[in-house]
Amino acid sequence: MTAAPGVSDAVELLERSLSYTRVALSGISDDELGRPTPCTRWDLRDLLAHMDDALDAFTEGATGAVIGPVDAGAPAAVRTATLQRKACALVGVWSTALLGDLRETTSVGDATLDRSVLALAAAVEITVHGWDVGIATGRGRPIPEALAAELLPMAVGLVDEADRCGPGPHRFGAPLVPAVDASYGERLLAFLGRRPTPH
């Protein structure tokens, strides 16, 4: 089993995932909000709302402070500007919270997690939803290979059936079988129930 990265590595992975996804969030128009995404039963508007909630939750996991949700009826430019601002803030708060104490934990529901594990979960989710946004807008980019290679074992250790099934939309689908010669990015997407799209 692959060892989890240390705290500094977790924060660095999170920063790289946010950098990738912030590019995908650029230039989204109101006309694109109704487009379908790889997330079951979510259009782009729903996905951006989920990402907004997730960024708040990951920030709260580090500090207990939340910037607050964006107005569901806000134009695409306002939505994406808010997400970009929250993405920038997230790296700062996690860097401060995580680098100070390797053993610091946070509560997620009934569970207590090391905060570095939550940062890794954030990196996986933010990266893959950034890819989802790119597919929905038609401006997608492959997940960088070095990033995907580090995220894949983290995803295998973190994503369980509760993330794939149950009522309502799901963040991740059932795992798919990747091609024999698949890249790390394609293997990560397949594990999370996404069929890689040629670029």
Task: Give average pLDDT by consecutive 10-residue segment, the chain, 199 residues.
Answer: 60 90 92 90 90 84 58 77 81 67 54 71 92 94 96 89 60 86 95 76
Residue 127, pLDDT score? 95
In a domain, 112, yes or no: yes
Looking up residue 135, the CATH number of its domain turns out to be: 1.20.120.450
Measured between alpha carbons, how far is residue 159 from residues 101, 122, 149, 155 in Å? Answer: 25, 12, 16, 6
In a domain, 19, yes or no: yes
- Do 26 and 80 contact (CB within 8 A), yes or no? yes
Question: What is the crossing angle of helices 7-24 and 115-137, to 10°?
Answer: 20
In a domain, 99, yes or no: yes
In a domain, 178, yes or no: no
Residue 71, pLDDT score? 62
Tally of structural domains, the chain: 1
In a domain, 164, yes or no: no
In a domain, 55, yes or no: yes
Predicted TM-score of the model (pTM): 0.82
Quick check: helix, strand or coil at residue 60?
helix
Cβ atoms within 10 Å, residue 137: 18
What token pair was written down for 70? 């964006």
Q: What residues make up the domain containing 133?
A: 7-146
